[in-house]
Structure 1
Amino acid sequence: MRRYSRKRILFYRRLKRHRGVSGMNAAEKKTFSLLMLRPDKQFYEGEVRSLTAAEPDGQISLLPGHMPMFINITTGMASLTEADGTKRTFATGEGMLAVYRDKVVLQSDFLAWEEKLEEAIRRRETAMAQEKERRKQSFREYRLNKIEMAKTFINLEKHSD
């Protein structure tokens, strides 16, 4: 019977713990969990084989077992391959990609599937125009209220004399 050193036994225990209960390490896994979030809602959640996104220096492709990191993503087209092999393309805005051991979280201010891109852009432009008008109206109200307050103070000074 072969006897192993304590150092070797501890090494294999750590290795087994790192690989998980099934004994499968991240490199052997075929998919990873992807969660895509917009400020207003969850855009997508599921198991995927790969993810490609635009970053400031070009593009990055993620596969199962990719090392953990945080990446800034830029506006552009991105794609993912689902667990069943279906490839889907989508547009992203500025955002961040967080890569964990077995999960990837993509957060962006704009996400839209390629087939619904024109509609999403139209909705976003409408929302931005409405927000701009609301801010303009709010500024007008602020200025009018400031003028009214100044008039009130002037009237108070006249009546107090």
Structure 2
Amino acid sequence: MDYITRYTDLIYFANDEIASCRYRLIKSRDNQTQVIVQINHHGDRPGNPVADHKTRDAILNRIADRELTGVPVSMLCVALTEGDAHHIVFPEPDLEDYIQRGHPYQQTPERAARGRHIGRISIDSRNLVIGRTRIQTAHTAPTPPDTGLAALLNRSEAA
């Protein structure tokens, strides 16, 4: 059975204006290793998370810090809904933020071109959980969902 929470309102600041959206969490019975965050934005409001990754990341990190602490970043799927259209993005961890927060990683020196040395950084993926690092979607292009996921996203609240 699918688990779908009720929508929660979120107020945020984008493009020098106060904006709002709603979000809910979904756990599908078809994919037990994924948590879906559905962010519903009305097209006539400012701060569109589909078009602007900075706005999307700010909203997503607020939701993640509030609701998803401890969930592996790799298990997160974000569905951006505007009207009847859905877009899917898969966030990735901000590795620089992870390191700056003092979490464990290994750095080994490696030779680079022209006799220089660089530091190769290795992080255990089990440590990349929400709460230890910010998440970002800057390098991810929104894509349409498959038909099964679109049907799940179209379901009414707490069905």
Which one has a bigger Cα radius of gyration? Answer: 1
Greater RCO, 1 or 2 (C-alpha within 8 Å, sep 6+)? 2
